[in-house]
Amino acid sequence: MPWKGEKDPYKIWLSEIILQQTRVEQGLKYYEKFISAFPDVHQLANAHEQSIYKHWEGLGYYSRCKNLIVTARNVSENFNGKFPGTYDEIKKLKGIGPYTAAAIASFAFNENRAVVDGNVFRVLARIFGIGDRIDSTEGKKTFSALAGKLLDAKNPALYNQAIMDFGAIVCKPVPMCKQCPFKQKCEAFLNDKIFSLPVKGKRVLIKKRWFNYVLLEYKQKFAVRQRHEKDIWHNLFEFLLLESNKEFGKKEILKEVNKKNWAGANGYEIEYVSPVFSQQLSHQLIKGRFTKLKLYQKPELSSDIFWIRKNELKNYAFPMFINQHLRKMNV
C-alpha cells in the first residue's frame, strides 16, 4: 500500500481518514485520486469545496469529508501547512480521534504512542484473553493501557506497523493459528475462544427511511438543492425529496407533488415512476422511488432550489442512492 512506511503527515492523515469505515481496496483508489488532485495540504485547503466533495463521492460518511476540509484549511492557514508534531496537538484537529492522532504521531514523528485499530484490538483480545467490550469506554481504556505497555519505545513506528500487519495478515477474523508464533501462549487459541474474541457491543438498530425523489425537468434542466440539514449526506446535492414513513406508490407521490405545487399550474408529463431502490448505510436503510416529471412551465419553488442543466449533473456530488438511479436510467 502506498501509505506503508510513509513519513509525510499529510499523506498519513489522508489515508487514515479515507480508510475509516472503508475497505482497503476501495480506499486505495480514493487515496490515489486525492493525492494526485491535491498533492499537499495547501492545495487541498485552497480547492473548491464542491470539487473536494466530488472527489469524495461514493465513499460515504460525508462528515469525514467535511472535517477533512476544516482541518486542511486550519493546517494550511494556522500552521503554515505543517502538521503539528505531537499526539496532543494533532488530536485537537477536527475529525482526528485517538487512533488517527496516534498513527500520525507515531508514523510521521516516531512519537512513543501505541496505535490501537481494529486489528490491534483483535490481536490483544485473543493473545491476552481479554473479554472487555472493545466499543465500551472501559474496554478502550484497558486495551489502550495494554497497548501502551507493550509498545517498543525504541521503535514505536515499526512496532505499530508490525502489530497492525500481524492482525491483518495472520490473526485475521478467521486466523491462521497453525502458522502463528504465539499459539503456545495465546489465550484464545489455548481456550478455544478464537471466534468469541474480541467482544463487540450489541448490534445497532437499523432505522428504515423512505426517500421518494422527484426529478423535475424543465427545458433540459433539473431542480436540485443542497442538503444542509443535520442529517445523512450533509452538503451533498439531491432532487426534490418526499420523505415518508412507508412505501409511496405513484398515486401518493403525485398527490404530494400537487399539494406542494412543485409542478406549476400548467401540468406535466410523467416520464416514469421507478421501482424501489435501496442503499444500506451503517445505521439506516434508505429505500424509495424516483419519479421523473417533464414540466410545461417553470414553477415557483423555494429559494434553496436551483436549476442545473442535464449535462452539468455530473459536476455535482450526489449520494450513491441517487447516483445508482442516474446511471441506471441514463439521466
Catalytic residues: 16
Residues 191 to 250 in contact with ligand SF4, rule: CB under 6 A: 194
Q: Tell me which amino acid residue 104 is.
A: I
Residue at grid coordinates 489455548? 190
Establish if 70 lies at the interface with ligand SF4 (CB under 6 A).
Answer: no
Q: How far is the CB of 165 from ligand SF4 (least distance, A)?
A: 13
Residue 189 found at the interface with ligand SF4 (CB under 6 A) = yes
Instruction: Candidates 26-34, 59-67, 172-180, 247-255: pick the segment binding ligand SF4 (CB under 6 A).
Output: 172-180
Q: What is the DSSP letter of 326?
A: H
Q: How many CB atoms lie within 10 A of CB 117?
A: 19
Stretch that binds ligand SF4, among 43-51, 183-191, 230-238, 240-248 (CB under 6 A): 183-191
User: Which amino acid does the sequence have at 260?
Assistant: K
Place of cell 481479554: 130
Residue 138 has φ and ψ, to the nearest 5°, of -60, -45
Q: How far apart are CA 215 and CA 222, in angstroms?
A: 7
Give the nearest distance from C-beta 127 to ligand SF4 in angstroms.
5
Q: Does 147 bind ligand SF4 (CB under 6 A)?
A: no
Does 128 participate in binding ligand SF4 (rule CB under 6 A)?
no
150 is a site residue for ligand SF4 (CB under 6 A):
no
Are 198 and 130 a contacting pair, CB within 8 Å? Answer: yes
Q: Does 121 bind ligand SF4 (CB under 6 A)?
A: no
Binding region for ligand SF4 (CB under 6 A) out of 153-161, 167-175, 255-263, 278-286: 167-175
SS3 content of the chain, % helix, strand, coil (to 5): 45, 15, 40
Is 28 near ligand SF4 (CB under 6 A)? no
Strands 284-288 and 207-218, bridge-based pairing: parallel
331 touches ligand SF4 by CB under 6 A: no
